[in-house]
Structures are given as structure tokens and as C-alpha cells.
Amino acid sequence: MIRVEGLWKSFDGQPVLRGLSLEVGTGEIMVVIGRSGGGKSVLLKHMLGLLHPDSGRIEVDGLDVARLRGAALDRVRERYGVVFQSGALFDSISVLDNVAFPLREKTRLPAAEVRARAEQQLAQVGLTGMSHKNPAEISGGMRKRVAIARALVTEPRIVFFDEPTTGLDPILVNAIHRLILDLHRRLEFTAVVISHEIPEIFSIADRVALLHEGVIVEEGSPEAILASANPVVGQFIRGEADASLLSAAMTHPGRHPA
């Protein structure tokens, strides 16, 4: 179980997280949605122990990640699998070596066993026959799948997906979502998914949390979120531009608001 309580974080005096609280139950898929630059990745980096909060707690199975350092933090991270937004594949080694990397470095398994497991993991994500390729030689969708295979090869109990489908076409988006759901059913890990893909991502979510201006403004099942009367939720779900964006569009009619 992951429990985030009263998380505050500022950068150069600008608060990004303002007392955020969130709970992710064991074995569930929690999807965190929210506007770009709203602090979703900052929240994820806190859960991973890559950032430390100004105040607040991040409990993972009862251990406060925010207070842990060094070997104690590494012991929590050993339960993690992480799929980074960019894939973060090591570009100097092959696809197979990328997937085998955590096993080679963190276990004492024989080389043949490591190779067999990595190949099996690649097969699970539909990438049989791609082992020898370099990450630079495969498509964006394939890179995401290799990243998923690498994150899951150590059979982690908690898996974090940071915008796993960004930059992919709608067919690939659905394929990756189905893959996550399928792997979740088989491996029964707890998943935290940061996503922009609305409403597609709702099909795999057990619960959805909307992060807005540094706090979770709405949390519940996908159905409850879709039916929410909260105007912020409605604005985000239906993609309605807010007043500031509309005013920018009116001032610069030839340009699209960023």
C-alpha cells in the first residue's frame, strides 16, 4: 500500500505540491490525471525517492520513503518497477541486455537463466525476435514495450508508469493499455499510472485521481469521476479550455494556446 499525506514541495519559492494526499491500495491500478505542469511527475518522483518533500509523508508498505536514505531507500526501491516517460532505455546496449540488466545486476541467477527470463519477458510484451536490436533502431511503441518488459522482469510488487503512451498513435495507445491490464492480471502488482489519455486510460483504472494546483481535487472509480459535478473535473475530462487559455486565444487568434 502507498499512502501520501500532506505532501508539500516548492521549487524556487513556487509551490508545486500543496499538501497533497493520496492512497493507493495493494493490487489496484491507480491512475493520476491532471494538466501538464501540474505536478504529476513531481508526485511520482517523490514516490520513487528521487525528490524529497519540504514536508509530508510518503508511506510504502509502512516505510516513510521521504525520510529514508541510502541502503534503506534502496530496499524499498527493490520492490519497484518503473516505466519512464521517455523509456529511459540504456542506448549503448541491446534490447535484450536492457531487459536483462536488472536481473544481471540485482540477482545471482546464471547467465542462461537471465537470458531466458529476459527473452520470455520480451515475448510477453510481443517483441520476440527484437532482442539483438539497439533501442535507437526500434519504433517509439516498441521502446515503450521494452521499458515495460524491463520494469517487470524482476517481478516487482509496485509498478509506476509515467505517461506510458505519450507520443503514440491511438491504436498503439490502446495496445499498451491492454498490455498493462493483461500483465497486471497475471502478475497482480500495485500500479500507479500517470496519464493524459482520457478517456482511454479509464478502461484500465480501478481508481482515478485528478491532480489540480498541487492537490488531489477528486478521487474515485472511473465511473464516479466521469459523473462528477466538480467543474475542474468536467473541464479536464471534456477538454474545455479555461478562461485564461480562451483569453490568450482571443488575443492571438492566429496562434494556438500552448
Partner 1 sequence: MRGSAAAGQPALPVRLLGALGGTTLDGLEHLGRFGRFFGEALLAVVVPPFKLGRLVERLHFIGFRSLVIVILTGGFTGMVLALQIFFTLSRFGSEAFLGPAVALSLLRELGPVLSALIVTGRAGSALTAEIGIMRITEQIDALVVMALDPRRYLVVPAIVAGMIAFPLMTAIFDVVGIFGGYLVGVHLLGLSPGTYFGEMQTFVDVEDVMTGVWKSLSFGVIVTWVCCYKGFHCGHGAQGVARATTQAVVLSSVLIVVWDYFLGSVLP
Does residue 85 bind partner 1 (CB under 8 A)?
A: yes
d(CA 49, CA 68): 8
- The CB-of-71 to partner 1 minimum distance in angstroms stands at 9
What does the per-residue mask of binding to partner 1 show for 21-50, with x meaning CB under 8 A? Answer: ---------------------------xxx
Select from 84, 161, 189, 202 the one that contacts partner 1 (CB under 8 A).
84
Is residue 88 near partner 1 by the rule CB under 8 A?
yes
d(CA 225, CA 218): 7
Does 189 help bind partner 1 (rule: CB under 8 A)?
no
77 contributes a contact to partner 1 by CB under 8 A: yes
Given 74, 137, 182, 223, the residue binding partner 1 (CB under 8 A):
74
First to last CA, the chain: 37
Instruction: Tell the smallest beta-carbon distance from residue 64 to partner 1 (Å).
Output: 17
Q: What is the smallest separation between the CB atom of 173 and partner 1, expressed in angstroms?
A: 21
| Region of 82-90, 123-131, 195-203, 219-227 interacting with partner 1 (CB under 8 A) | 82-90
- Give the shortest CB-85-to-partner 1 separation in angstroms: 7
| CB-count exposure of residue 19 (10 Å: 0-12, 13-18, 19+) | middle
Q: Which residues in 103-132 contact partner 1 (CB under 8 A)?
A: 105-106
**CB neighbour class for 191 (10 Å; exposed up to 12, middle 13-18, buried from 19):** buried
Q: Residue 229 Cβ, how far from partner 1 at the closest point, in Å?
A: 38
For partner 1, which is the closer residue by CB, 57 or 79? 79
Task: Choose, by CB under 8 A, the member of 6, 25, 54, 90 that binds partner 1.
Answer: 90
How far apart CA 208 and CA 257 sit, in angstroms, is: 27
- Long-range contacts made by residues 177-181, C-beta under 8 angstroms, separation at least 24? 177/201, 177/203, 177/204, 178/204, 179/125, 179/126, 179/145, 179/148, 180/29, 180/148, 180/204, 181/29
Residue 157 binds partner 1, judged by CB under 8 A? no
Q: How many residues lie near partner 1 (CB under 8 A)?
A: 20
Nearer to partner 1, 91 or 182 (CB): 91
HSE-up (13 A, CA, CB side) for residue 176: 29
Q: What would the grid cell of residue 59 be? A: 508511506
Q: Segment near partner 1 (CB under 8 A), from 15-23, 102-110, 124-132, 182-190?
A: 102-110
Sign of CA dihedral 73, 74, 80, 84: positive
Reading the block at residue 83, the C-alpha cell is 516505466
The DSSP result for 33-46, as a single string, is EE-TTSSHHHHHHH
The neighbour count for residue 82, using CB atoms within 10 Å, is: 20
Binding stretches for partner 1 (CB under 8 A): 48-50, 74-75, 77-78, 80, 82, 84-86, 88-91, 101-102, 105-106
